[in-house]
Amino acid sequence: MADLLLFIEDATGKKAITAPDTPKEDQSPYGVKQSWYMDNAKDTRNGYHFMKLMEWLPGLIHDMTQEVKLRE
């Protein structure tokens, strides 16, 4: 998560504001402490090609950053 925030900070030129703790009533059900992922082995065996994160994430962050700048 820290690497992702740094990448977004670099793209936007702004420092991310994070909270060290979130009150229980505001916590996301997806905010789990342990790592979790979906197994895509079956899809891969059936011929689907998954792109590596760094093949598409930088472009997405760039595009979204530009879109936000246009709205400002």
Give the tens place of pLDDT for each residue, 19-56: 888 888 888 888 777 888 899 999 999 999 999 999 99
Q: Are 7 and 58 in contact (CB under 8 A)?
A: yes
Q: Domain of 57?
A: 2-19+39-71
Distance CA 70, CA 72 (A): 6
Residue 53: closest CA among 61, 44, 42: 61
Distance CA 24, CA 38 (A): 26
Q: Is 47 left (phi over 0), alpha (psi -120 to 50) or beta?
A: left
| Total number of domains in the chain | 1
pLDDT of 58 strictly over 80: yes
pLDDT value of position 34: 84
Confirm whether 24 is domain-assigned: no
Confirm whether 27 is domain-assigned: no
70 confidence band (pLDDT: 50, 70, 90): confident
